[in-house]
């Protein structure tokens, strides 16, 4: 253990995701187990600026595993984007005697952590908490498995009514810059088509596929990532109606329900493993990196590499959807 590692801070930032509480619990209890004090920072980077902190002990994180969201709350901070805001945050950390931080969030969170390290020499280890699963350096991010399972449950129900009424449903799932949720949902629910921001797809191409399959099936499901270049599900449905009147179309936007709910076993265990790994990394003197899972093994990836580019869609999954949706 580093002799100066007496007290660490933990916070969640950006969008919330089921399993974040498991990570918070693991961070707190791993630190306490090793004789390190923990300070919980409320509302992410905004809480750092506002000095919203309180001590956390092992019992403060009891009975939180099964809850979605984050007990530390989260917020996006415009103040932290400015150098003067980061200066205030660093001064508050020093005044609180905090030697290092565990930051739970996505690429925006890690970009902020990198600035804090470079400008103010603050040691930070990140834990990937985002339902998008779009971060390099980890096979899974906390919240993705729960979000996909939540969406799949809803889409299965939509499939029932689509079949009953011979309808075409467009279902919009979250994913402003990433189509991973959409692609996994499409494969898991047997959707006929998926529209994702990473792959340009025209409404004409969509119409060709749907019309070709109309003779073989009475109903269809199209999954649309909210960030698709053709627009969200309502926009795509409107464009298809203008292209052809062959289908009885309905639209369903699942929205923020995907962020909430009790985390799956996968997300609870992932949060536990990565929370422990983050504290252990700080104890070993590591910093400026994200703790992730690759090939079921904990690994550390520098923030610069994590935020340099988003994780790409796997071509074999796109091919699998095309094969299975005939």
Enumerate residues 6+ apart whose C-beta is below 8 A from 112. 13, 45, 80, 86, 103
Most confident option among 1-10, 158-167, 297-306 = 297-306
Q: Which residue numbers are catalytic?
A: 132
Q: Lay out the sheet containing 193-195: strands in order across.
A: 193-195, 220-225, 168-173, 249-253
Residue 4, pLDDT above cutoff 80? no
Number of H helices, E strands in the chain: 11, 11
pLDDT digits (tens, 9 = 90+) for 282-312: 999 999 999 999 999 999 999 999 999 999 9
For the chain, which domains are there?
A: 7-143+263-308 (3.40.50.450), 145-259 (3.40.50.460)
- pTM for the model stands at 0.95
- Find the mean pLDDT for residues 99-116: 97
């Amino acid at each position: 253990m580093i002799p100066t590692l007496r007290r660490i801070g933990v916070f969640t930032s950006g969008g919330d995701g089921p399993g974040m509480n498991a990570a918070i619990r693991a961070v707190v209890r791993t630190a306490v187990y090793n004789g390190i004090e923990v300070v919980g920072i409320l509302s992410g980077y905004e809480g750092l600026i506002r000095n919203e902190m309180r001590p956390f002990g092992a019992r403060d994180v009891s009975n939180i595993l099964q809850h979605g969201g984050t007990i530390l709350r989260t917020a996006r901070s415009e103040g932290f984007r400015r150098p003067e805001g980061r200066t205030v945050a660093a001064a508050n950390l020093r005044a609180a005697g905090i030697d290092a931080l565990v930051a739970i969030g996505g690429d925006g969170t890690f970009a902020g952590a990198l600035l804090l390290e470079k400008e103010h020499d603050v040691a930070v280890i990140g834990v990937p908490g985002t339902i998008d699963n779009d971060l390099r350096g980890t096979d899974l991010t906390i919240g993705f498995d729960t979000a996909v399972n939540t969406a799949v449950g809803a889409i299965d129900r939509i499939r029932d009514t689509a079949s009953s009424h011979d309808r075409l449903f467009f279902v919009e799932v979250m994913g402003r810059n990433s189509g991973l949720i959409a692609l996994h949902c499409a494969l898991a629910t047997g959707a006929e088509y998926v529209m994702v921001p990473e792959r340009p797809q025209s409404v004409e191409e969509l119409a060709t596929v749907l019309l070709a399959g109309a003779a073989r099936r009475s109903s269809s499901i199209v999954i649309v990532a909210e960030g698709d270049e053709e627009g969200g599900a309502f926009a795509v449905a409107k464009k298809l109606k203008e292209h052809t009147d062959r289908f009885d179309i309905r639209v369903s936007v699942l929205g923020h329900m995907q962020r909430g709910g009790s985390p799956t076993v996968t997300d609870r265990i992932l949060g536990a493993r990565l929370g422990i790994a983050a504290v252990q990394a700080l104890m070993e003197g590591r910093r400026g990196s994200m703790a992730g899972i690759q090939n079921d093994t904990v690994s550390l990836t520098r923030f610069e590499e994590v935020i340099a580019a988003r994780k790409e869609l796997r071509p074999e999954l796109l091919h699998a959807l095309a094969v299975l949706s005939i």
